[in-house]
Amino acid sequence: MENIAPAPPRKRARCQPKQDAWSWKTENDDDATPSTLPFLPAREPGVQLSAADNHTPLDLFKLFFSEDAVETLCQNTNKQAAGNIARGATYRWVDVGVAEFYKYIGLLFYMGMIKLRDINDNWKNTIFSLPFPAELMARDRYRTISWNVHMSDPDEERVNDAQTGTSAHDGLFRLKPLMNTIQNACKAFYHPHRNIAVDQHMVACKGHTISNDFKLFVLADSSNGYTLDFSVYTGKNNFPTVQGLSYDSVMSLIDIKYLGSGYHVYMDDFYTSPKLFKDLLAFKFGACGTYRDSRRDCPRSDVNVLTKKSPGGTYRWIRDGPLVYVKWMDTQEVSVCSTIHAAYTGDTVKRRVKSRQGVWSSQSFPCPSPVVEYNKFMGGVEEFMGGFPGELIQYYTAQHKTMKWYRKLFIHFLDIAATNAYLLHKELMQNMHKDSMTQKAFREELTEQLCGVTQTQKAPVKEDSDLHIPVCGVELNTDGGKKARANRKTCAYCRKHRGKQAKTLWKCRACHVYLCLLPERNCFNAWHDEE
């Protein structure tokens, strides 16, 4: 029998503290406040633009969607259309230019402001129609541009697609040219204040070749929701991880050269882990976030733990070196970990409670500092994400049904650019002690400027000659009883629909069409109802 050498002994994992050695401390125990990290941003926080200059909504939007970026979009879109026509597409195509493409973007924003059930409803010729889309761009032109919008070079795409299944394939290739432009602009024109947040946003994509939601990991300024950076997750093959997705997604967004140090990073329980927080601290970044009890190295002790019967406002905590773990009873148990805060510093929150007599009243409850700060500084990014009561990106999004996944993300990039432009406007106005526009007013003005119109432009007043009014179409120069039958013309509606050569003296003043106008047969109304 062949001798088999024994396997080398497996290295024992680093011992972690015994769970029963960790006892949850109570309100009667004091926790030391951690040393404050010096805040050393790479640039002065805030807008990186001169407040003295006048910045229109279009000027701010073009910081993210510059004419050079749009020119690249036009080149790739025209190339894609030419390729489709060569492969048998039958639609008519005229190359799109920069000015027209900005109008196309303006129309997308317009549809985000005025939402209809179907895109085609914008061009319906009914009493429910909207006149502006048809005045700006023909429906078929809008559709052909939408079909062909392309961020990358189609020829280079085919080379990349041929490498599918290999390490050389780039799943984000179709996004890269514009995505990189947007990311660089987000960093260039704004520097975050101390508190920043990591969160995620889902973009639903369903098509013939793909049916899943794209996940965007977003780094935002907690004070206002400004997008500082983002990464797109399309699957583990295109987002290689070493320490796990939750860890690496955060680390991919923390650019020390861009940010500086001393920042406080807030996140939810998808990302929070002891290893991540300790490694961030090594880079001089504090962290605070909700956590899951199942996370490796998190305390799971049952000694003195909260229960479902614990009164509201009750809290427990454990300190493990630089990390403090806090559990607090609200309407349900809340778990937060932090390297920034002490467990409790005297904060309270108000809650409405119902007495045994059924009377509601407002009461104050103790609340651990990590919980208070987490709720405060995750609010900005949650507003950006469209959470309650947020209405930044989601409320005015230009998204609508489409079969192309990369066009979904193209429109999401538009939303990021428009929202960031608005936030730049707000801070510029604040720096000059002036009132800023609302998000709605800003979007409206941006849409006007992209489309080359103004709200003050009124629809042209129709001249009397343009109104559909029946008038006598012949001179009545016949005497007596013959007057009613003289010089009459054939009714266009009767000839078309009844096969009759009925005569009438009435015509439409606007369209000069002769039509019957009788008590028993109103061809005038019937004819115009068809239009």
Per-residue pLDDT of the chain (531 residues; tens, 9 = 90+): 344 334 444 444 444 444 446 889 998 899 988 999 999 999 999 999 988 789 999 999 999 999 999 999 999 999 999 999 999 998 899 999 999 999 999 999 998 888 887 788 888 877 777 888 888 999 999 999 999 999 999 999 999 989 888 888 888 899 999 999 999 999 999 999 999 999 988 776 654 444 456 788 999 999 999 999 999 887 765 666 778 899 999 999 999 999 999 999 999 999 999 999 999 999 999 999 999 999 989 998 889 899 888 998 999 999 999 999 999 999 899 999 999 999 999 999 999 888 888 888 898 999 999 999 999 998 656 655 554 333 455 556 655 665 678 888 899 999 999 999 999 999 999 999 999 999 999 999 999 999 998 765 544 444 555 567 888 876 555 455 555 566 788 888 888 788 888 888 888 877 778 888 888 888 888 887 765
What's the pLDDT score for residue 336?
Answer: 96
One domain, residues 173 and 260: no
Report the C-alpha dihedral over residues 178, 180, 186, 188, rounded to 10 degrees.
Answer: -120
Q: Does a structural domain hold residue 381? A: yes
> What is the C-alpha to C-alpha distance for residues 442 and 303, in angstroms, rounded to an integer?
55
**Residue 320 is part of which domain span?**
16-38+194-390
Q: Which segments of 149-273 does DSSP mark as H helices, in order? A: 154-161, 176-188, 245-251, 256-259
One domain, residues 263 and 278: yes
Which H or E element spans position 217? Answer: strand 211-221
Q: Does a structural domain hold residue 11? A: no
Query: End of a domain among 355, 390, 425?
Result: 390
Instruction: Give me the helix-helix angle, 67-86 and 139-148, nearest 10°.
Output: 90
One domain, residues 266 and 166: no
One domain, residues 290 and 431: no
Q: Does a structural domain hold residue 109? A: yes
Q: Does a structural domain hold residue 170? A: yes
Query: End of a domain among 358, 390, 422?
Result: 390
Q: Does a structural domain hold residue 22? A: yes
One domain, residues 324 and 447: no
One domain, residues 379 and 436: no
Q: Does a structural domain hold residue 510? A: yes
Q: Does a structural domain hold residue 8? A: no
One domain, residues 125 and 273: no
One domain, residues 356 and 495: no
What's the pLDDT score for residue 488?
Answer: 81
- pTM of the complete model: 0.78
Q: Which of 330, 328, 324, 289 is nearest to 306 (CA)?
A: 328
Domain count, the chain: 3
One domain, residues 376 and 425: no
> What is the C-alpha to C-alpha distance for residues 55 and 50, in angstroms, rounded to an integer?
9
One domain, residues 273 and 291: yes
List the CATH number of the domain containing 271: 3.90.350
What's the pLDDT score for residue 268?
Answer: 94
Q: Does a structural domain hold residue 30? A: yes
Query: End of a domain among 390, 418, 441?
Result: 390
One domain, residues 27 and 57: no
Q: Which of 391, 262, 269, 285 is nearest to 335 (CA)?
A: 269
Helix (H, G, I), strand (E, B) or coil at 32: coil
One domain, residues 291 and 369: yes
